[in-house]
Amino acid sequence: MNTYRQQGREKLQLIIRALHQFLLISKRILQEQFNKNLYTRILFTNVTAFVIALIVLMMFSSFVVKQVTYDQVQQELLRKAKRVNFALLQQTDSAWSIPPDQLKSSQIQAQQDFLKYLADIFDAKITIFDMTGKITATSAEQEMVPGSKIEEKYIEILKNKNGSIATTQTVDSDTDQPIFVTVVPMGNNKDAIENGILLETKSSNLDLALSKMRLYMVIGGMIILLFIIFISVYLAMYISRPISRLTATVAEISRGSYVLSDKDQPLDEINDLGGQLNKLAERLQKVQTESRRVEEERARLFAEISHELRTPLTAVQGFVEAIRDGIVQDEAIQERYLDTIYTQTIHISRLIDDILELSRLESGNLTVEKLPVDLNALAHGVAISMEPLANRTNTSILLDQKTEKAIVLGDADRMEQVIRNLLKNATRATENGTIRVGVETRQGKVELSIEDNGIGISPEDLPHIWKRFYRIKNQRADHMQEKGSGLGLVIVKKLVQLQGGNIDVASQLGKGTTFHISFPSFEKN
């Protein structure tokens, strides 16, 4: 016996595990199908919602129909009970309160025939009983057994209602069908209650009506379900079609095509998404264009740097090889070669310093401190320090201060670097002349001007002086060996802009050049 029980438990556990595994697999498959694409998600959601709603509607409808039908049956049974009581009261020759064993067989037969007649008319089983529960007459001949009684609850209902009509409901133990029962006091309300009338009826057509209603609802639900499937597929296609187009657009963007969609989409959300994708494509296109420009600029910069470094390095290499190989024996020539080597190394060092400076400026790694700076005092100090360099070419530097207060926000070291570079360029371009440094305040701005009467800049060169490694073509011959790196003006412009200022230039060939720099004036509260 224990062996059989153990085998039974094992089989039951196997069945439970198999069911659990089946449920897990079914759940996984449903989740995969539900999350597969937009079609299955919309279709699955709509069909599931409709089936649940149909089941709830069928249950609710069955409940409502039952309640309404039961109420109608009870009301109809109440009316029948009143009419049965009235019909029985009209039979004055029938002694309904006398027990059957005290009546003649003809009287019993007459009572039963009359009750059968009423039962056929009103489609209900009629039973007459006394206050002790004994059945005195009934329309059902097979139940007329001497001493038969009705259930106590019907007597209690009749007593509790104090002579009024009462209805109740029970269930047939054989067919499980609902039975509606009405208890009526026999006679007038004025008389004492001696007998009661029990009417019983079955709602035999209710289950058939409910079955037909469910069948019609299922058929109608299937038709509506097909319509819902059609609408769901159409809706999914209506939504997914523009999404597919957007997917193709994103694929084109990822390949670098940047194809912009100019078609209006049917949904506002898709339109918004398409607009954002178009903006993204435009931004990526600009980024790619800028990146291409930067790469080209970087390649050009490397080429320019290589070119700028190759020339002095070639000269240094040639002179060093000539000295090392003993080709040059004259000490004066060797001294001149060494001077040239020194000059070229200085030029290379200056070029590298300027390249590093410009790299920091363009990459944004160079920061400036914006503090109040007196531009008068700063220009005066730089001008004095540059006088020895100007005196070499018999040039004088004059400071023209048109205002006593010229305070700006900026970095004193970077501003000094700007003024020094411009003065250095002016001394290279001027011989036996004058360089004027002017400071004045005008319309909330402090303007600094550096003017020389040197060789000037030709109209062809003027637009290009802010470019890297650009040198004007009309430099003085005695200063060719002291040529600059071609980055000084580029650095000057970026330093001025970094401190919130503007720089401009005006020049005439053979008459001189003037640089104008303006900064917002700083006024202390």
Residue whose structure tokens are 């001294």:
335
What lies within 8 Å, CB to CB, of 149 at 6+ separation is 129, 132, 133, 134, 135
63-76 mean pLDDT: 80
- Spatial distance between the Cα atoms of 121 and 229, rounded to a whole number of angstroms: 53
- What's the pLDDT at 393? 86
| Structure-block tokens of residue 273 | 């998404």
Is this model's pTM higher than 0.75 or not? Answer: no
> In CATH, which of 1.10.287.130, 2.60.40.420, 3.40.50.9100, 1.10.3300.10 is domain 278-366?
1.10.287.130
Predicted local distance difference test score (pLDDT) of residue 475 = 54
**Complete DSSP assignment for 160-228:** HTTTS-EEEEEE-TTT--EEEEEEEESS-TTSPP-EEEEEEEE-TTHHHHHHHHHHHHHHHHHHHHHHH
pLDDT digits (tens, 9 = 90+) for 194-206: 778 888 887 666 6
Task: Compute the average pLDDT of residues 472-490.
Answer: 58
- Quickly state the pLDDT bin for 63 (edges 50, 70, 90): confident
What is the dotted CATH code of the domain comprising 368-520? 3.30.565.10
Decide if pLDDT at 467 tops 60: yes
Max avg pLDDT among 315-319, 435-439, 521-525 = 435-439
Using DSSP bridges, classify how beta strands 434-442 and 396-401 pair: parallel, antiparallel or unpaired. Answer: parallel
Which of the pair, 401 or 311, is modelled with greater confidence?
401
* Model confidence at 181: pLDDT above 80: yes
Neighbour count for residue 430 (Cβ, 10 Å): 24
Measured in whole angstroms, the distance separating CA 398 from the mean position of its chain's CA atoms is 66
Q: Is residue 460 scored above 80 in pLDDT?
A: yes
Q: What is the mean pLDDT of residues 97-111?
A: 69
Task: Please calculate the CA angle 235-241-247 and round it to the nearest 5 degrees.
Answer: 135
Q: Pick the residue with more confidence: 328 or 401?
A: 401
478 has a pLDDT exceeding 60? no
Per-residue pLDDT for 398 more than 50? yes
Mean pLDDT of all residues in 508-516: 89
Nearest-angstrom CA–CA distance, 172 and 202:
9
Neighbours of 446 (CB within 10 A): 25
Q: Which residue has the higher pLDDT, 268 or 79?
A: 79
> What would the pLDDT profile of 12-43 be if each residue is shown by its tens digit?
788 888 777 777 776 666 566 556 666 677 77
CA distances from 468 to 263, 308, 463, 484, 492 (A): 45, 11, 12, 12, 12
pLDDT of 480 > 50? The answer is no
Provide the pLDDT confidence category of residue 466 given band limits of 50, 70 and 90.
confident
Overall average pLDDT of the 329-340 stretch: 79
DSSP collapsed to 3 states, 292-343: HHHHHHHHHHHHHHHHHHHHHHHHHHHHHHHHHCCCCCCHHHHHHHHHHHHH
The alpha carbon of residue 205 and the mean position of all alpha carbons in its chain are separated, in whole angstroms, by 57
Distance CA 81, CA 298 (A): 109
- For residue 510, pLDDT over 70 is answered with yes
Residue 390: per-residue pLDDT: 87
**CATH number of the domain at 56-208, please?**
3.30.450.20
Mean pLDDT of the chain: 77
Residues 297-306: tens digit of each pLDDT? 777 767 766 7
Per-residue pLDDT tens for 263-311? Answer: 555 556 667 767 777 777 778 778 878 788 777 777 776 776 676 667 7
Beta-carbon contacts of 77 under 8 Å, excluding residues fewer than 6 positions away, are: 124, 167, 180, 182, 199, 201
| Of 511, 367, 378, 524, residue with least CA distance to 433 | 511
Tell me: pLDDT of 364 over 60.
yes
Q: Comparing 310 with 508, which gets the higher pLDDT? A: 508
| Residue 516: predicted pLDDT | 92
pLDDT-derived band at 525, boundaries 50, 70, 90: very low
Asked if pLDDT for residue 207 goes beyond 80, the answer is: no
